Amino acid sequence: MDTTPNTPLRAVALVCTLSPSPTPSSSQLLAEQTMEALAEHGVTGKTIRIADHDVRAGVKTDMGDGDAWPEIRDTVLGSDILILSTPIWLGHPSSIAQRVLERLDAEISETDDEGRMLTYGKVAAVCVVGNEDGAHKVSADLFQGLNDVGFSLPPNAVTYWVGEAMQGTDYQDLDKTPGATAGTTATLAANTAHLARRLKSAPYPPSA
């Protein structure tokens, strides 16, 4: 497929806060800011707060009995870009973020006619928020999982904010977005859109 710098792209942000809507969420806020930054590069899409849906525990594409994951999975597979947004809890990604990775694990056995995972050619990036240390550790955990299940990672594929450890200020409580976070979000968006367009025009080779 030939692409140009204006080739439309689709993205979905899976927000892994533990709180269902309408509870305010810093993870939701940073995901929405990332989607706004992606929009400047011709990317459209939506955010999905996983806690609002009955995503069952498991490692299959469909756990049955009302499992909400199959519909979310269809959205992921219909997108060019996946954003995974999580808070830090006890130095780790949220349990919901881990559940999303566990459900994506099923993609390892889902392949096209040339042996490639259906996630090949899709690009992923990460948003992390918290008022404790651990943004680099959390992004490293998510990067490894996303790469294992077939997503490609651009340079600087994480944007994050962490407040002072052992304090109660959340990202959503700030009067304005810190310049460092805004700049990192802009870089993430530019690099993610760039790589997604390159992969649309030059797919990965068949798997052996």
For residue 2, is pLDDT > 70?
A: no
Calculate the CA dihedral of residues 143, 86, 67, 80 and round it to 10 degrees: -50
The pair of three-digit structure tokens given for residue 37, joined into one six-digit string: 């930054």
Per-residue pLDDT tens for 157-174? 999 999 887 777 899 999
Please give the model's pTM, rounded to 2 decimal places.
0.95
Closest residue by Cα to residue 87 from 32, 31, 144, 26: 26
- Can you give the pLDDT at residue 110? 96
Q: How far apart are CA 103 and CA 14, in angstroms?
A: 13
- Can you give the pLDDT at residue 145? 98
Mean local confidence (pLDDT), 13-18: 98
Per-residue pLDDT tens for 45-102? 999 999 999 999 999 999 999 999 999 999 999 999 999 999 999 999 999 999 999 9
* Residue 98, H or E segment: helix 95-104
- Can you give the pLDDT at residue 4? 63
Q: Do the Cβ atoms of 82 and 14 come closer than 8 Å?
A: yes
The pair of three-digit structure tokens given for residue 106, joined into one six-digit string: 């099923």
Mean local confidence (pLDDT), 172-178: 94
Per-residue pLDDT tens for 116-153? 999 999 999 999 999 888 999 999 999 999 999 999 99
The pair of three-digit structure tokens given for residue 11, joined into one six-digit string: 């993205």
Q: How far apart are CA 174 and CA 172, in angstroms?
A: 6
For residue 58, the SS3 value is coil
